[in-house]
Structures are given as structure tokens and as C-alpha cells.
């Protein structure tokens, strides 16, 4: 992560994990935006009085590692690609800053709400068996025995919590992904996700995005990685996003 962004985050008031219970928002509206790290730096400098930053062991950016599961015919990916409004992700995620790992089911409902179920596990598994399989069976439409690991990703995450609204947002930077000998990533790109009980543009962060003509855009780190490292997968619906990201990569600059 660029030193300039770390320095900007150090100017925010901190918040601990224990103090974030009021914005857990496991049932919420997620709204995503993509921009460059240079624009992110400008926005952070503009909103530092309106948000607190999750701080753990004096760090404000935390490393995540995620492994996603899908069927051999990539059913979960294709449901997303085909723009079905009722879709799922099955993943195991290690929150490396806190030393915990969860098996997670992320469900996007037809009403565009995000519902997340998760159970603590000891480590990221390669197969879903026993209680892991029962959990997946209870909260997703796929049979656990049909799922296999298909991709990993890693990124640094910044978490901001509004001082005045029931709102938090995450900013992921330094995204890398891969499987076997194939790897890729989005250097210099910031993936912003605003999490609210109901989306409102009154968010201070969203206002700063709008002033820079940065508009909300559906984006999945899982689908972006899959369509990159599995070139035979159908990906035509993601072409506009790919072109937009290519444009961001050309203009990103280096912090």
C-alpha cells in the first residue's frame, strides 16, 4: 500500500473491532465503486473528520486472504455472469490481522440486499466435509460435495465507520488473485464498497465520489479474477467493466 495512503489513514480517529458491533450489518445494501488510489487519497483527505478507521495493533490496513469454491461447471460464477438477481458466493476467508478464519456464504437477494452467514473455522479447507458441508447445505442452493476450490485472492482492506450514520465502508487495494500457476491483479485500483441498511447518497464518502464523477458500478473480485485466470469462461457481460478498469489502469499514476 502506498505510503501516502497510510499517512492519510493515520490522521483518522481510530475504532476497534469491539466498538464496531453497531455497524455489523450482516443484512444490508452494498454499493460498489472503482477508482484509482490517487483519487482515493484525495477523498480520504476530505472525509477524515467524518469517519473513524478500524485500527488493530496500530495498523489501519489489514491483509485478507480468501479462497472461493464453485462447481466444476462454474455454476456460481455463471449465475453472477448471467445477471441473476438471486446469487451466492461460497468462500473461506482469513482475516490475517485478527487471526480468525470463517467459512462464509454471501447471498445477494432479488431485492439486492446482501445477507452473509459465517461460521468460525480453524483454517481454510480444500474440501467441504462434516460441519463445513452441513453449513453450506443449510445456507446455499448448491450441494457441498460438488464444490471445489477454484481461486484465491489477497488484498489490503481499509474499514471506515461513519461518525454520524449507520454506515461503514471498505476499501480494498492491492488486489491479487490466482490458482495453480496463473496469477493476476489490479495494481493501483481501489475497490470501494459502501455498506448501509438502505443506500443513500447522503453518505459523506459517496458525496466525495460523486464530486469526482465516480459512479456506482457492480463489481465482484471473484468474477474479475475468474474471468482473468480462466480465459475460456464466458465473460462478455463483464466487458464494459474490463474496459473501465483498463482506463483506470492507464490513468492511475503512482503514489
Domain boundaries defined on the chain: 3-251
pLDDT digits (tens, 9 = 90+) for 134-148: 999 999 999 999 999
The model's confidence at residue 22, banded by pLDDT at 50, 70 and 90, is low
Residues above pLDDT 70, as percent of the chain: 96
Other residues' Cβ atoms within 10 Å of the Cβ of residue 91: 23
Residue 202, pLDDT above cutoff 90: no
Residue 168 pLDDT > 70? yes
pLDDT reported for residue 253: 63
What DSSP designation does 178 have? E
- Residue 93 C-alpha cell reads as 476467508
Direct distance between the N- and C-terminal alpha carbons of the chain, in angstroms, rounded to an integer: 9
Is the confidence at residue 207, as pLDDT, over 70? yes
DSSP at 142: S
**Sign for the pseudo-dihedral over CA of 126, 131, 136, 137:** positive
Q: Selecting from 3.20.20.70, 3.40.1440.10, 2.40.320.10, 3.40.50.920, what CATH number does the domain 3-251 have? A: 2.40.320.10
Amino acid at each position: 500500500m502506498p505510503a501516502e495512503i497510510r499517512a492519510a489513514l493515520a490522521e483518522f480517529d481510530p475504532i476497534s473491532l469491539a466498538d464496531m458491533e453497531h455497524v455489523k450489518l450482516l443484512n444490508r445494501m452494498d454499493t460498489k465503486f472503482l477508482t484509482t488510489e490517487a483519487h482515493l487519497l484525495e477523498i480520504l483527505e476530505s472525509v477524515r473528520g467524518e469517519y473513524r478507521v478500524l485500527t488493530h495493533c496500530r495498523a489501519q490496513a489489514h491483509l485478507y486472504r480468501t479462497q472461493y469454491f464453485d462447481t466444476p461447471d462454474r455454476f456460481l460464477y455463471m449465475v453472477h455472469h448471467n445477471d441473476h438477481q438471486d446469487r451466492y458466493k461460497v468462500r473461506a476467508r482469513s482475516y490475517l490481522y485478527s487471526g480468525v478464519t470463517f467459512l462464509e456464504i454471501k447471498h445477494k437477494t432479488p431485492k439486492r440486499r446482501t445477507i452473509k452467514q459465517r461460521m468460525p473455522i480453524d483454517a481454510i479447507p480444500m474440501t467441504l466435509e462434516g460441519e463445513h458441508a452441513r453449513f453450506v447445505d443449510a445456507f446455499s442452493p448448491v450441494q457441498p460435495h460438488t464444490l471445489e476450490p477454484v481461486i484465491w485472492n489477497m488484498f489490503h482492506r481499509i474499514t471506515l465507520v461513519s461518525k454520524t450514520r449507520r454506515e461503514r465502508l471498505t476499501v480494498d487495494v492491492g488486489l491479487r488473485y490466482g490458482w495453480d500457476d496463473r496469477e493476476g491483479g489490479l495494481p493501483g485500483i481501489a475497490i470501494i464498497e459502501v455498506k448501509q441498511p438502505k443506500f443513500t447518497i447522503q453518505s459523506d464518502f459517496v458525496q466525495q465520489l460523486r464530486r469526482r464523477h465516480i459512479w456506482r458500478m457492480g463489481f465482484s473480485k471473484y468474477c474479475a479474477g475468474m474471468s482473468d485466470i480462466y480465459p475460456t469462461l464466458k465473460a462478455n457481460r463483464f466487458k464494459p467493466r474490463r474496459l473501465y478498469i483498463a482506463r483506470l489502469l492507464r490513468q492511475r499514476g503512482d503514489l
